[in-house]
Amino acid sequence: MYLKNTSTFWKKCIPVIIDLEYTGDVYNPKNCAIWEIAAKYNDKVFHVLINPYLTRAIVPAAVHEKYKMPTKTEFQTANAVSFNVGIQLFCIFLRGLLKSEDQKILLLSHNSFRSDKVVLEHELIRHRMHRHLLQLPLFFFDTLHFVRAILPKQKSYSLNSLYQYFFHKKIKNAHAAESDVIALEEVLNQINKAYEGVVMMLFLTPFSNINGIGLQTEKKMMKAGYSCLEHFYSVNGIFTENIINGLIQLNIFSDIASINKISLEMNCYGVKRLTW
pLDDT at 127: 96
- Regarding whether 18 and 29 lie in a shared domain, the answer is yes
- Regarding whether 195 and 245 lie in a shared domain, the answer is no
Q: From 203, 220, 254, give the residue that closes a domain.
A: 203
pLDDT at 274: 64
- Regarding whether 147 and 71 lie in a shared domain, the answer is yes
Integer-rounded Cα radius of gyration of the chain: 19
- Regarding whether 93 and 155 lie in a shared domain, the answer is yes
Domain containing 82 — which CATH number?
3.30.420.10
- The parent domain of residue 150 ranges over 2-203
Strand 104-109 and strand 13-23: the pairing is: parallel
Angle at 188 (CA atoms; ends 140, 29), nearest 5 degrees: 40
The answer to whether the beta carbons of residues 252 and 219 sit under 8 Å apart is no
pLDDT at 173: 82
pLDDT at 113: 95
Q: From 154, 175, 203, give the residue that closes a domain.
A: 203
- Regarding whether 169 and 223 lie in a shared domain, the answer is no
pLDDT at 276: 58
- Regarding whether 232 and 198 lie in a shared domain, the answer is no
- Regarding whether 118 and 18 lie in a shared domain, the answer is yes
- Per the structure, the count of domains in the chain is 2
- Regarding whether 115 and 105 lie in a shared domain, the answer is yes
- Regarding whether 177 and 125 lie in a shared domain, the answer is yes
- Regarding whether 158 and 276 lie in a shared domain, the answer is no
Order of strands, edge to edge, in the sheet holding 44-49? 2-3, 197-200, 138-142, 104-109, 13-23, 33-41, 44-49
- Regarding whether 161 and 209 lie in a shared domain, the answer is no
pLDDT, one tens digit for every residue, the chain (276 residues): 888 877 888 889 999 999 999 999 888 888 999 999 999 999 999 999 999 999 999 999 887 777 788 999 999 999 999 999 999 999 999 999 999 999 999 999 999 999 999 999 999 999 999 999 999 999 999 999 999 999 998 999 999 999 999 999 999 888 899 999 999 999 999 999 999 999 999 999 999 999 999 989 999 999 999 999 999 999 999 999 999 999 999 999 888 999 999 999 999 988 877 665
What is the C-alpha to C-alpha distance for residues 9 and 6, in angstroms, rounded to an integer? Answer: 8
Q: From 203, 232, 254, give the residue that closes a domain.
A: 203
Q: Give the contacts of 43 (CB within 8 A, at least 6 positions apart).
A: none
- Regarding whether 50 and 138 lie in a shared domain, the answer is yes
